[in-house]
Amino acid sequence: MKLNQVLMSCSLVIALLATALAVLTEGKGPLGELAIGTVVVGVVATALNVLNLGKDLNKVVNVVRLVAGYAFVVVGVLGIVRNDSHPNEGDAKSNAVVGLGYVSYVLALVCGLGMVGDGMRSVVGVNV
């Protein structure tokens, strides 16, 4: 499996997890608002990774992929920090929000680092 296929799948899974998180939080509060932003970044990153599957792209699209990777890294770090401060009331919905938050934002951080590494190779020619 190629790196681009892994990054595409990872971006899609993050978008789906963030959608579920946005639904659970009803888009309210810091975690819900960040989940909505994560859905947008995930959809854009998935589309860019789909474009990159079959062919080498021009520099502009590769720079946009690199920026999307950085956005995933930022969203991942912010999500982990905000998830730590999310009040857990002990009920099933609160536990699901906290658990889903950790899974989606750690995955966003890892996928973002992969996209940044691949983007650095594509744009600058540096293997990270």
CB atoms within 10 A of CB 99: 13
pLDDT for position 17: 92
DSSP symbols for 64-106: HHHHHHHHHHHHHHHHHHHHHTS---SSHHHHHHHHHHHHHHH
Residue 108 domain boundaries: 3-123
For residue 35, tell me if it sits in a domain: yes
Query: What is the reported pLDDT for 53?
Result: 67
Tokens of 21: 């998180």
Question: H or E segment at 35?
Answer: helix 29-51
pLDDT for res 128? 61
Q: What is the pLDDT along the chain (128 residues), one digit of tens a residue?
A: 687 788 888 889 999 999 999 998 888 888 888 899 999 999 988 888 787 766 666 777 778 888 888 999 999 999 888 887 767 777 888 888 888 888 999 999 999 998 888 888 877 776 66
pLDDT for the residue 70: 92
Is residue 8, in this structure, part of any structural domain at all? yes
Q: How many domains does the chain have?
A: 1
Identify whether 93 is part of a domain.
yes
> What does the pLDDT read at residue 74?
92
Tell me the two tokens of residue 74.
Answer: 């930022």
Paired tokens of 107:
């995955």
38 is a domain residue: yes
In a domain, 55, yes or no: yes
Assess if residue 36 is contained within a domain. yes
Q: Is 119 a member of any domain?
A: yes
Reduce the DSSP state of residue 51 to 3 states and report it.
helix
Domain assignment present for 128? no
pTM (predicted TM-score): 0.85
